[in-house]
Amino acid sequence: MVNFRRTRSQTKSIDHEEDDLENGRENLNEIIESQEIKSDESYARKFFVLKESILNAQGSIVPLKHPKFGTKTLYFVSKAEVCEVLKVDDGKTSMFYGESVISDGSITMLSPIHPLFLAIPYLIKVVKSRFAPLDQILVDEDFPAIGRLAENESLIKALAKFSDSKELCDTLMYRYNEELILKWLEGKFEVLKKSLLEHGTLHISIADNEIVLRRYTFGILADFLPEELGLMLKTHLDIQEPETDSYSSWKRKIDEVEEDEENYTPSPQPAKKIVKISTAAKKLKEASKGTKSLMGFFSPKS
């Protein structure tokens, strides 16, 4: 029997090794924890695309009614600027920024819009046949922030030129003028068409065809107008509807032919008549059994 006995010095040496191993594990855990990537909400960032002047503008983002659809839409409103807030999001995307990763890869755009587009529905509703001050025109229980447009400089200038106005007791009064509004919209139409040609990426079938280009431009502008006013502007600008092209006619003919083929039912074939064999023919057929064909006498011999 072998007796293993530790000396005091050996025991101390083993204890030191165990302590060193434990300390090494603690140091390793500290290194791993220090290098672990953690999300810090204080560094949360988002991407915005906007005009530099908006950064210094004293304004806020508020919900307003969309001029065509009447739905809740976010807008940035200040005394000098009005922008529609648009969000571009392709789903679960991230972006690299320097040495960090931004988990929210969406882009928020502040697209400038003339405040008169937002005011037109209220002008039509309130002052189509009478004068009223601006603070009584821009009133909406569902979207009270519309009242902030009363202080917008661009809107005040536009109303002075494209609506009927008069001063009463030191207060400016406004009335909707359809003819002047159509004139203003025609100017916006021409500016938009020119911008699309110079800066847009239009297909050649649009850019090289004036009729198609006008129709395309009107489609964009009409998305910011009440439906009734949009139809008036369409007539005012003489926007032509697309004609039925040859491809559509050809496609329709093909569809009609395919439909006819699907509905086609073949007519029943007449039954073959059974030819009756006479008694004499039957006897002749029976008598010819076992006889060699006449052509066999003329076939070459092998």
| Residue 232 in domain | yes
The Cα 270–Cα 31 span in angstroms is 95
pLDDT digits (tens, 9 = 90+) for 123-171: 999 998 899 999 999 999 999 999 999 999 999 999 999 999 999 988 9
Q: Which of 124, 148, 176 marks a domain boundary?
A: 176
Measured over the CA atoms of residue 124, residue 128, residue 134 and residue 138, the dihedral's sign is negative
Q: Is the pLDDT of residue 271 over 90?
A: no
For residues 202 and 196, the answer to whether their CB atoms sit within 8 Å is yes
Name the helix (H) or strand (E) containing 231: helix 227-237
Question: Which two structure tokens, joined as six digits, stand for 73?
Answer: 């839409």
For a pLDDT cut of 90, what percent of the chain falls above it? 48
162 and 209 in a single domain? The answer is: no
209 and 140 in a single domain? The answer is: no
Q: Is the pLDDT of residue 264 over 90?
A: no
141: domain CATH number is 2.20.25.530
Residues near 7 by beta carbon (within 8 Å), at least 6 away in sequence = none
Question: Which among 229, 209, 230 is positioned nearest to 219, based on CA atoms?
Answer: 230
pLDDT digits (tens, 9 = 90+) for 213-256: 999 999 999 999 999 999 999 999 999 988 765 445 545 655 65
Range of the domain at 98: 47-176
Please tell me the predicted confidence (pLDDT) of residue 101.
81
Would you call 139 exposed, middle or buried from its count of C-beta atoms within 10 A (0-12, 13-18, 19+)? middle
The Cα 207–Cα 215 span in angstroms is 11
pTM (predicted TM-score): 0.67
| Residue 23 in domain | no
As for how many domains the chain has, the answer is 2
